[in-house]
Structure 1
Amino acid sequence: MLTNDPVWSYEARRQNMPKTKVDQGAVDLLVIGGGFCGLTAALHAARQGLGVCLVDAGRIGDGASGLNGGQVIPGLKYDPDWLLRHFGEKRGAAVVDFVSRTADAVFDLIDREKLDVPRSRSGWIQACHTEKALAAATARYKQWRGYSDQVEMLDAKGIQSAIGADNYLGGFHDRRAGVINPLSLALELARLVRETGVDIRENSRCVSLARRDNVWIARLADGVEIRAGKVLLAANAYSDGLIPGLAATLVPLHSLQIATAPIAEEDLRPILPAGQAVSDSRRILVYYRRATGNRLILGGRGPMRLPRGQQDWAHLERALVRLFPSLRGVAIERRWFGRVAVTLDHLPHVHEPEPGLVTMVGCQGRGVGLMTASGPRLVDYLLSGDPERLPLPLTPIAPIPFHRFRQIGVGAMIAWYRMLDALEQ
């Protein structure tokens, strides 16, 4: 069965969420996009007394925020030393401090607001299948241990015990990380945001955005116009033409996942017994975690085009058996996907194309923590104008040259990398 709804019991919750609708008119802040960034931004703004409207082209949870792998990983693709060199000592230190706490932002929010979100905070393992990958993970560990005592290196015996697979030479274990049910978090945040009085309009695509006399005018597909003092575009991989050139700065990819049927206790017992999330070191990585009901969820990169059938998930089913031969024959109960955005420099980008309009794009696999923590910071910047409040420095919008051909090149690169990974086993 192909589905884009990986959680089977939440339709009733979605239907029972309180409904709000304000009259067409002016608001202090318009949020476009109902993912983790948009929802936390709307909540933060409303609790400061602002009038807020949030619009989404689909339903809450139907985008990557509800359909990701559920791994909550602090940090960025780059480690502290690189970030300090790239951003400078002062600003780099602030960036390192911010990204080191993004997982805290998620778990603290869930606990503080008593959100009904299945979760486990046993850490994240970057599992290394080559000596080169192990050396890189060791360098990562040496840098992060200067900022946290919650990181460690695992040798071959330690990683086999932690994961239950003998495919790895060792790995980096970050105990600050954890796993959540992402759709549950998206729906619970939407419930909380609605309870603050925010007007959430689902299935309401914004088709134009213009600034007149210091007021932003957003027109929705149904003809409704919303006037706003400030605008946060929180669409990330779903960004289109609202901000000229923005979509051309991103390479959209599809992240595919599979969920097994319930696994027999004796087969599941040695697999991730402490409940960590895992991402491996392959060029086209796979990532996996335990889920409720004795299931295992495994994800990885999909085709550049929209997935068309069960065969597009076949490489994940092969990876599952390669990692855990005892699971051969276990049924795959669900398959789903979400769209993610990648930037050429593998950094998130924060843009302010015009005064009072801010956007942030490009999570690079760290979206759950990064966007949850960034939403309030973006609102603080819109209200204060203080760049120190931003999660990362502002950068100009720089479309990728020959963007329309980029997906062809990326697709070929993914196929090549997948072949190299297969040769390395």
Structure 2
Amino acid sequence: MARQEALSLWHAVSRDRHPRPMLEDRLDVDLAIVGGGFTGLSSALHAAGKGLSVAVLEAEIIAWGATGRNAGFVVPNFAKMDPDAIVAHLGAQLGERLIGFAAGSADLVFNLIERHGIACDAVQNGWIQAAHSQAALGTIQSRARQWEERGRPAVMLDSQQTEALTGARGYAGGWMDRSGGVLNPVEFARGLADAAEKAGARIFERARVTSIDRASDGWTLTTPSGPVRAGKVLIATNAYGGALNPTLQRTYFPLKVFQIATRPLPSKMRQRLLPGGQGFSDTRRNLITFRFDARNRLISGGMHVVGAGADTRVPQTIWRRLARCLELPDLPPLEYSWSGIAAVEPDFLPHLIDLGPGLMAARACNGRGIAMTTAMGKVLADWAAGTEGRDLPLPFAPPAPIPFHSLLRYAPNILLPWSMLRDRLDQAG
């Protein structure tokens, strides 16, 4: 049976946690950050590096939310839109700035790891996306071309190259961004926290913010342990913000994603699959992903219709699907399973949300959390230091609640059977 006691595999296998203190008195800072995930920690590191006084207020522990519950893929592109479509959607100026932001996001992650000596089993050997049908192959050929035209290390793969690099058979071809990779997300987050503290930021755990109110000289954040006054405030909670700002809750779809990790694979079985250590995803709507950790556990994930018993039922479904698709009748059993909530924007792009003078919310997950949120932290530090929101390389606007959100919020999970049927029809065609 899979182990369920840890928040995720990464919490279970990572080094001893360095607890951060609780907030015990009132505090006065230039920048208060609500949320101790990748966005908040990267923002704290980069803002402190600019000489700002910074406090991170995490309601639970560092990497408690989606930051510690993902699969550890570092992917420097967008989940749905390709560069040409982004330019058409946002216009040439902002579109190209956003594309440039994403293009360098993985390199930023791995450069931070090297600069700060973060031990997180990081491997930057690329991210591979395989086409599950001939129609999908045409789409990703165009995708790879668009990124290559913008100077990215994008490489097209035919079916034989895809099989050789991944060990997965039956794909029409694929492409690889050589700047992508994999890592242990909890260790990376803890390393960012350590680096931020060394730069002068203060990080507090068990410091739940219950309200954010306008003050004459900035904002006042209320916590059970005392108030925090800040010149500027960043809400970096993604889908884990609770009721802190009900308007924000209506601007994204919460998507429950399950992850699994098997027991370590025998060496002979391991040698066939991803011999270069890359991360893998395909083009299905109900996509298949897989990678290995440092102990050769096979890690995969997926979304399924959420219902009674899902936390037990879905991991086994993902395991069986993985064994079938990778032709592994002797796939070792599950060792860990876990789940998390991703924030999905209607256009699947990162967004900065203007909540008032000096009050910002930021979301960049959409299935690309590690690269995008870490890079977003560098941008948000510029905002905290005085750059106007309209001059940042990301869409910046007041909140735009999704119409009929209460009815549509679970649509991504509920519509999964239709997506799976379309995947089968694609391959049949």
Query: SS where residue 376 of structure 2 aligns?
Result: helix
Alignment match, 1:191:
194
Cα distance 1:95–1:373, how it changes in 2: closer, same or farther (>3 A)? same
Distance 1:162 1:23 in 2: 54
Quick check: 1:91 aligned with 2:78? Answer: no
Query: SS where residue 182 of structure 2 aligns?
Result: strand
Alignment match, 1:378:
380
Cα distance 1:307–1:101, how it changes in 2: closer, same or farther (>3 A)? farther
Alignment match, 1:61:
63
Aligned partner letter, 1:41: S
Alignment match, 2:219:
216
1:350–1:394 Cα contact (<8 Å) kept: yes
Deviation at 1:153, TM superposition (A): 1.1
1:46–1:198 Cα contact (<8 Å) kept: yes
1:302–1:313 Cα contact (<8 Å) kept: no
Aligned partner letter, 2:274: L
Alignment of 1:20-59 (within 5 A): 23-59=25-61
Q: Of the candidates 172, 191, 194, which is equivalent to residue 169 of structure 1?
A: 172
Quick check: 1:104 aligned with 2:125? Answer: no
Alignment match, 1:415:
417
Deviation at 1:388, TM superposition (A): 5.8
Distance 2:298 2:233 in 1: 39
Cα distance 1:98–1:149, how it changes in 2: closer, same or farther (>3 A)? closer
Residue correspondences, number: 423
1:72–1:180 Cα contact (<8 Å) kept: yes
Query: SS where residue 250 of structure 2 aligns?
Result: helix
Deviation at 1:168, TM superposition (A): 0.9
Alignment match, 1:229:
231
Distance 1:264 1:284 in 2: 28
Which deviates further from its counterpart, 80-89 or 97-106? 80-89
**Sequence identity, in percent?**
36
Deviation at 1:114, TM superposition (A): 1.1
Deviation at 1:240, TM superposition (A): 3.3
Task: Give the alignment's TM-score, normalised by structure 1.
Answer: 0.94
Cα distance 1:261–1:178, how it changes in 2: closer, same or farther (>3 A)? same
Kindly provide the CA deviation profile for residues 183-236 of structure 1, in whole angstroms up to 9, marking residues without a partner as x.
Answer: 11011112222333422221221111110213211111x252111111011011
Query: SS where residue 310 of structure 1 aligns?
Result: helix
Alignment match, 1:132:
135
Distance 1:420 1:54 in 2: 44
Cα distance 1:307–1:253, how it changes in 2: closer, same or farther (>3 A)? farther
Q: Of the candidates 314, 317, 320, which is equivalent to residue 312 of structure 1?
A: 314
Distance 1:207 1:306 in 2: 31
Q: Of the candidates 108, 112, 123, which is equivalent to residue 120 of structure 1?
A: 123
Q: Which runs of 5+ in 2 are unaligned?
A: none
Deviation at 1:304, TM superposition (A): 4.6
2:22–2:206 Cα contact (<8 Å) kept: no
Cα distance 1:307–1:33, how it changes in 2: closer, same or farther (>3 A)? farther
Distance 2:208 2:232 in 1: 18
Kindly provide the CA deviation profile for residues 89-110 of structure 1, in whole angstroms up to 9, marking residues without a partner as x.
Answer: 2222211211110101100100
Alignment match, 1:143:
146
Kindly provide the CA deviation profile for residues 311-350 of structure 1, in whole angstroms up to 9, marking residues without a partner as x.
Answer: 1212211221122223534111100112101111222221
Distance 2:136 2:146 in 1: 16
Aligned partner letter, 1:207: T
2:44–2:54 Cα contact (<8 Å) kept: yes
Alignment match, 2:257:
255
Distance 1:223 1:149 in 2: 47
Q: Which runs of 5+ in 1 are unaligned?
A: none
Alignment of 1:275-424 (within 5 A): 275-304=277-306, 308-387=310-389, 389-421=391-423, 424=427
Cα distance 1:322–1:421, how it changes in 2: closer, same or farther (>3 A)? farther
Distance 2:192 2:309 in 1: 28
Query: SS where residue 167 of structure 1 aligns?
Result: coil
Alignment match, 2:206:
203
Distance 1:188 1:209 in 2: 28
Query: SS where residue 119 of structure 1 aligns?
Result: coil
Distance 1:347 1:109 in 2: 23
Cα distance 1:396–1:92, how it changes in 2: closer, same or farther (>3 A)? same
Which deviates further from its counterpart, 318-327 or 299-308? 299-308
Which deviates further from its counterpart, 250-259 or 379-388? 379-388
Q: Of the candidates 156, 160, 163, which is equivalent to residue 160 of structure 1?
A: 163
Deviation at 1:22, TM superposition (A): 7.1
Query: SS where residue 255 of structure 2 aligns?
Result: strand
Which deviates further from its counterpart, 346-355 or 318-327? 318-327
2:22–2:205 Cα contact (<8 Å) kept: no
Distance 1:357 1:249 in 2: 16
Alignment match, 2:85:
82
Task: Give the alignment's TM-score, normalised by structure 2.
Answer: 0.93
Deviation at 1:303, TM superposition (A): 4.3
Deviation at 1:88, TM superposition (A): 1.7
2:25–2:225 Cα contact (<8 Å) kept: no
Kindly provide the CA deviation profile for residues 372-396 of structure 1, in whole angstroms up to 9, marking residues without a partner as x.
Answer: 0111211211321334652303122
Distance 2:309 2:343 in 1: 16
Query: SS where residue 112 of structure 2 aligns?
Result: helix
Which deviates further from its counterpart, 62-71 or 141-150? 141-150
1:277–1:288 Cα contact (<8 Å) kept: yes
Aligned partner letter, 1:143: Q
Distance 1:341 1:29 in 2: 24
Query: SS where residue 194 of structure 2 aligns?
Result: helix
